[in-house]
Amino acid sequence: MISGDARLKNGPSVSEPISMADTRTTEVLVIGAGPGGYEAAIRAAQLGKKVLVIERENLGGVCLNVGCIPSKALIHAAKRVVEIRHAADLGITTGPVSVDVKKLQAWKRGVVDGLTGGIAQLFKANKVDWIQGTATFTAKDAVSVRGADGKETNVRFQNAIVATGSRPIEIPGFKFDRRTVIDSTGALDLEEAPKKLVVIGGGFIGLEIGQTMRRLGSEVTVVEAMDQILPGQDPDLVRVLARALQKEGIRILTGAKAKGLEPQKDGSVQVVIEAKGAEERLPADKVLVSVGRRPNTESLGLDKAGVKVTPKGLVETNDKAQTSVATIYAIGDITPGPALAHKASKEGLTAAAVIAGDKGAALDYRALPWAVFTDPEIATVGLTEAQAREKGLDPVVGRFPFAASGRAKSTQATDGFVKVVADKKTDLLLGVHIIGPEASNLIAEAALAIEMGATAHDLALTIHTHPTLPEALMEAAEGVHGRMIHAVNRS
């Protein structure tokens, strides 16, 4: 999506922010340059607005620098390790596999640097100015920006888009020390796989990093307080993933509460947990705490701008991304709903369109996809069966296993299935839920179908290339009507 080096040919670096002046004015002020913020800034500029971005740390925010992109780079590398180790199954002879984690980290940083440099180029190409510093509201149309050098700059704006993102939650007894107790940022920067890793929190971040470290050589234990990993997700999908993780040697403890740490003489720790009324001590070299994220709103001075904030620090918005102050918009992790980069991006683009005068621009989360980049992957969009029933609908399900897919068999990726949920009365697609190979890519077709108001019959009638993984979507849609060709239909 973004490419380019941080320097233009025969020209100066474009990654440098503009210098501060005592007072600046702009039509659109964007606070935060993560996926939501930088896309909002570029779109507003494309729509003819004068735009200024304030970013405290790095262009690209958490996602590009210490989240989505670096984690997926390491996940990709770890998956390659597994593929090489099993190459002999295909008649391919390989030697012993080893991983130079320091070199792997250097490659990952190169990927990140290229992407963040690309944002700087796009800012310049679209005439978006940016300042590196920390913004605080002083009024409903003004902020004060403190630079790294301590210099203050006042900025007045007509409209503002707040996109300050979130940070990992710390829990009692597990203060982040960046040595033993680490957050996701620290985990993604490890230059060697710990011998023993305990992951507190069985959400998607903890599972993605935990599986990656297992594949790089760590012994991994996941501690989840709820009764299943990925709490709140379709249990059918979760069961398949749990079996796959356990098959790789990852220990999963559900219904377990982390109570504290006991330091050991050799520099390691023991994690004290309680499960089913009994205490257990888990030895660990590193402890990854991944139990959720907290919105970055408390130091913004939103009260001085008149913006209402919930007790949890979230900013309520309408379908135009407007806050309680119509000229101030909020997007991304600081708003209610899942903390997803693509949700933030859509909200940012919508806010920019509204500011530019598009009266039809509005947010609709009916087809908001979600993915977990474990192996197998999980991806969902729309309603589950249970959610459909809660809304008074009568759901009908078609389910097609990847074990019956020719493409999946030929790539040794047969774990999982596609589940299509449709309304019995209208045949309207309500949701699609996938666990299996390339689920994060396959879900895009399902999201488009739901967005366009397609029926299960529409999806079944669509000709799919053979042999490909998306054929599983077509077959699952046929299954809604009991017409699957390559799998046994349920009565």
Q: List Cα–Cα distances, 32 to 57, 66, 200, 334, 361, in angstroms.
A: 9, 15, 29, 11, 22
376 within 8 A of 439, measured Cβ to Cβ: yes
Structure tokens at 151: 């210099």
16 within 8 A of 124, measured Cβ to Cβ: no
As a three-state string, the secondary structure of 346-381 is: HHHHHHHHHHCCCCCCCCCCCCCCEEECCCCEEEEE
Query: Which amino acid, 346?
Result: K
466 is catalytic: yes
Cα(5)–Cα(113) distance, integer angstroms: 8
Catalytic residue among 433, 466, 481, 486: 466
DSSP category for residue 19: P
Over the range 147-185, which residues count as b (16 or more CB within 10 Å of their CB) and which as e?
Answer: eeeeeebebebebbbbbbbbebeeeeebebeeebbbbbb
Strand partners, 130: 53
Centroid of chain to Cα 34: 12
Query: Which residues participate in catalysis according to the annotation?
Result: 466
